[in-house]
């Protein structure tokens, strides 16, 4: 492609195929087409500061660097949205009060109905922080689309409609996915906590197994 190409007639996927061949002009056209939407998403989640600008820039850099990983059988936007979301998520992890996520998993009915308020006591916050590695591990183990849905809902408190629009999927699929995802996360978290308790028991009573 060259500068005489009418990019308005090309789809995102056409441009990405050119980007995979290291076409700078096609990449510039793709950035111009989506930078406004990307900026709006970042600002809505992080606020209008330098970090929003940084994550948008980094997301597009990764599009260029990882263009070869894009599956040509799939649309561009959900793939890009996932990249952008991951950049935002990294920033959020550094600044958020992650105990809200633990409370949402433990109390899915309240979470889904958006009713009630959870305790913000220091003990709750400390306990949640200690378990966030486990929760993130559980989330990372979910299928790709479900993983993105759960991160958007749990960490960014996006509405069903916002998630559906961002990922270009039906509203009802978002609703069912969140319900299913919470069940999987509670099971994963409970298993991890049970394992931790068992390990503590072994440490506290190392002779228990031998005496039995």
- CATH of 96-203, picked from 1.20.1250.20, 3.40.920.10, 1.10.10.10, 1.10.287.1060, is 1.10.10.10
> Taking residues 181-202, what's their average pLDDT?
78
pTM listed for this prediction: 0.56
Give the dihedral sign, CA 133/84/173/108: positive
Average pLDDT along the chain: 77
Neighbours of 180 (CB within 10 A): 14
CA nearest to 57, candidates 25, 91, 23 = 91
CATH code at 1-68: 1.10.1740
Distance CA 184, CA 181 (A): 5
| Cα separation of the two ends of the chain | 75
Domain boundaries, given as residue ranges, for the chain: 1-68, 96-203
- Number of residues in the chain: 212
pLDDT higher at 68 or 96: 68
Q: List pLDDT tens digits, range 140-152.
A: 888 888 988 888 8
């Amino acid at each position: 492609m060259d500068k005489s190409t009418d990019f308005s007639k090309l789809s995102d996927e056409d441009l990405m195929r050119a980007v995979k061949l290291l076409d700078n002009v096609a990449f510039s056209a793709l950035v111009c087409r989506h930078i406004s939407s990307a900026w709006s998403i970042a600002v809505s989640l992080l606020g209008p500061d330098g970090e929003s600008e940084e994550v948008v820039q980094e997301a597009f850099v990764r599009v260029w660097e990882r263009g070869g990983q894009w599956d040509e059988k799939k649309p561009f936007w959900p793939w890009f949205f996932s990249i952008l979301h991951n950049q935002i998520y990294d920033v959020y992890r550094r600044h958020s009060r992650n105990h809200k996520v633990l409370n949402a998993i433990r109390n899915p009915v309240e979470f889904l109905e958006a009713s009630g308020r959870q305790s913000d006591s220091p003990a709750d916050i400390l306990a949640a922080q200690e378990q966030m590695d486990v929760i993130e591990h559980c989330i990372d183990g979910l299928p790709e689309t479900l993983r993105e849905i759960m991160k958007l809902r749990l960490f960014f408190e996006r509405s069903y409609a916002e998630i559906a629009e961002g990922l270009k999927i039906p509203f009802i699929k978002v609703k069912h996915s969140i319900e299913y995802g919470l069940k999987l996360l509670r099971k994963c978290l409970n298993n991890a906590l049970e394992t931790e308790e068992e390990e503590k028991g072994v440490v506290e009573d190392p002779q228990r197994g031998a005496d039995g």
